[in-house]
Amino acid sequence: MRPVLLALPLVAIAATAGAASWDSDRGPGIAPRRDGAALVYPVDGFNSVGLALPAHVDVRVGPFFSVRATGPAQAFADVRVTRNGDSLQIEQRYSDRARDERALRAVRFVVTMPRIRSANIGGSGGINVDRVTGGRFDGAIGGSGSLTLGNVAVEQLSGSIGGSGSIIASGDARELKVNLGGSGRFAGERLRARAADISIAGSGGVRAQVDGEARVSIAGSGDADLGPRARCAVSRVGSGRALCGGR
């Protein structure tokens, strides 16, 4: 029986290696057309944006769909744009290649869409959204990326950060939910909310203007400042602190 037992892991390893080799090229994605210095991707029907490159994306809320990109030509050999359900995905094509970080950081996408419901960043990229409206918006960062939200007017704004990334938001939300794990930062000094639910695990920080009740949970050295009109119920483990109601 021993030879059989030894053979099984070898088969598994071979299968895994074959799968990794097969999956290293995710495919070209949506083929763009050239328009002067820009590449134009013919895609529509999405309401969220996902970024997994150290590039920058400007999202403009408008009456039509448009995806345009500019940057060094060599960078686009490793850029893949797809639509997965209702999400526009911008990512690396070859998973096993070293990225040209400098070239990719110079890539800029301008995305126009009628409405945006969520934005997700994996890594060090940046997304800037000019306007956020509707019932709910979800923003998530895994890494050191940055998400900037302007002119927010939603029922619920939800932000989560795993890592050292940052979310900057201004406008109004009926309810604010923030979940930080790591050293991330939610900068909502210009964001007004009527209620909040804040969870911080690590050394992250949350700033917002809450005019109403807020639940705050801190584990670690993180801190939350919810403004002079916040009425907080605080659960704390560690050296973190919550500032509510001016104290």
Q: Residue 30 pLDDT > 90, yes or no?
A: yes
Residue 56 shares a structural domain with residue 151: no
Q: Is residue 49 part of a domain?
A: yes
Arithmetic mean of pLDDT over the chain: 92
| Closest of 238, 240, 216 to residue 227, by C-alpha | 216
pLDDT (tens digit per residue) in 223-238 = 999 999 999 999 999 9
Helix segments in 41-115, DSSP class H? 101-105
- pLDDT tens, position by position, 141-157: 999 999 999 999 999 99
- Please report, for residues 96, 99, 132, 144, 169, the alpha-carbon distance to residue 78 in angstroms, rounded to integers and kept in the order given: 11, 8, 30, 21, 31
Q: pLDDT at position 98, please?
A: 81
The answer to whether 113 touches 61, Cβ cutoff 8 Å, is yes
Last residue of a domain, one of 82, 113, 144: 113
Q: Is residue 6 part of a domain?
A: no
- Checking if the pLDDT of 198 tops 80, the result is yes
SS3 (DSSP) at 227: coil
Give the domain range for residue 141.
131-246
Tell me the CATH number at 35: 2.160.20.120
Which stretch of 4-18, 27-41, 190-204 has the lowest confidence by average pLDDT?
A: 4-18
Judge if 154 and 233 occupy the same domain: yes
pLDDT given at position 247: 66
Pair (49, 107) in one structural domain: yes
pLDDT, residue 11, reads: 35
Report the predicted TM-score, pTM, of the whole model to 2 decimal places. 0.89
- Measured distance CA(176)–CA(186) in Å, rounded: 11
* Percentage of the chain lying above the pLDDT 90 cut: 87
Q: What is the pLDDT of residues 87-118, one digit of tens each?
A: 999 999 998 778 899 999 999 999 999 999 99
Domain presence at residue 156: yes
- pLDDT at site 24: 87
